Amino acid sequence: MEPSSSITSLSIWSIGVAIFLLHWGVFFDDFIGCETPVLSKLFELCADGLFMILGWTTAADKGAVAPCFQGRCITDRSCYTWHLYVDASNDNEKAGIGGILLSEAGSYIGHFSEYLDESAKGILNTSESENPIFELECFAIWCGIWTWARLFRNTQVIIFTDNEGALYSMVNGRSTNDAGSRIVSSTHRLLDEHFVNSWFERVNTFSNLADEPSRGISKTEWGARAAIDCDRLAQMAIGSG
C-alpha cells in the first residue's frame, strides 16, 4: 500500500473514533470493529454512513461469513493460568492415573487418584502392548483436562507430564500410536471447545506432584478429590463412547 493510502485509512479511523465514538481498529484498508450486542446495529449504521459520505462501498455479504468462523472469546479470565500436574503408573500389573491442580498462586485446588480395571486398560491398549505406559500417560492428561474443563474455560493451562512421548504427542497434536493418536485428538478438541490456551511442559519425575496420586495415594491437603469413571472416560478419549 502506498503511504498516501495509509494516511487515508488512519484519517478515516481517527474520524470514526473521535466523532462517531466507534470501537474499531484498522489494518491497511480493513476496518475491524467490536461492540456490545445492543449497540451493534448503531455501530454498523455509523460505520456504513461514514463510508457512504466518503463514497466508499462495502461488501454486504461479509457479515454472512462471520458465523462460519468460531471466534476465541477474550474475557477477564483469559490471562489466568492454572498448573495441572498429571502422571500414570503401571507397576505389578496395576495401572493408575493421578493429577493435581494448582492455582496460579500455587494453592492446591483439587486432585484425582484412580486405579484402572482390566476393562478400562483394554479400551486404551488398542495395540495390545505389554506395558501401555504411553497410553496411560496420555489418558492421565485427558482425564485432568476433562475433570476441570469447565474451570479451565477461557483461561490458560500449563500441563506438566514426566513422559516425553506423551509430551511430544500433545505438542505435535498427533501420534503414530493408535490409542495415543485418538487421545491426543480428543484432548485438543476438548481444549478448543472450552477456549483453553494450553501449554504442555515436561517435569522431572522426582518433581512431579502427581506421582503419588497415580499410585493410589490421596491426601486432603491436595484439595477435593474428583471422582473419575475410568471406563467411561477411556471410551470418550478413544472415541468409542
CATH of the domain at 201: 3.30.420.10
Q: Check residues 5 and 195 and name the one with the higher pLDDT.
A: 195
Tell whether 105 and 204 lie within a shared domain. Answer: yes
Give the pLDDT score at 3: 47
Q: Could you give the 3-state DSSP secondary structure of residue 35?
A: coil
Q: Which of 68, 90, 105 is the last residue of a domain?
A: 68
Give the pLDDT score at 151: 97
Q: Which of 36, 68, 100 is the last residue of a domain?
A: 68
Residue 98 belongs to what H/E stretch?
strand 94-102
Distance CA 206, CA 158 (A): 18
- Rounded to the nearest 10°, the torsion over CA 135, 236, 101, 218 is -70
For CA atoms 141, 142, 145, 147, give the dihedral sign: negative
Tell whether 45 and 96 lie within a shared domain. Answer: no
Distance CA 149, CA 159 (A): 13
Give the pLDDT score at 59: 67
Residue 111 belongs to what H/E stretch?
strand 108-115
C-alpha pair distances (Å), 223 with each of 40, 77, 103, 144, 145: 44, 22, 11, 14, 17
| Range in 33-42, 86-95, 167-176 the model is least confident about | 33-42
pLDDT digit string (tens) for 174-186? 999 999 999 999 9
Within a domain: residue 73?
Answer: no
* Mean pLDDT of all residues in 119-137: 92
Q: Total domain count for the chain?
A: 2
Tell whether 45 and 85 lie within a shared domain. Answer: no
Extract the C-alpha cell encoding 189: 478438541
Within a domain: residue 76?
Answer: no
The rounded mean pLDDT for the chain is: 89
Say if residues 29 and 12 touch (Cβ distance below 8 Å).
no
pLDDT digit string (tens) for 203-235? 999 999 999 999 999 999 999 999 999 999 999
Q: Considering the entire predicted model, what is its pTM? A: 0.71
Give the pLDDT score at 64: 47
Distance CA 193, CA 199 (A): 16
Give the pLDDT score at 67: 53
Within a domain: residue 178?
Answer: yes
Tell whether 58 and 161 lie within a shared domain. Answer: no
Amino acid occupying residue 5: S
Within a domain: residue 214?
Answer: yes
Distance CA 146, CA 209 (A): 19
Distance CA 162, CA 86 (A): 8
Give residue 50's domain range. Answer: 3-68
| Range in 19-33, 76-90, 138-152, 214-228 the model is least confident about | 19-33
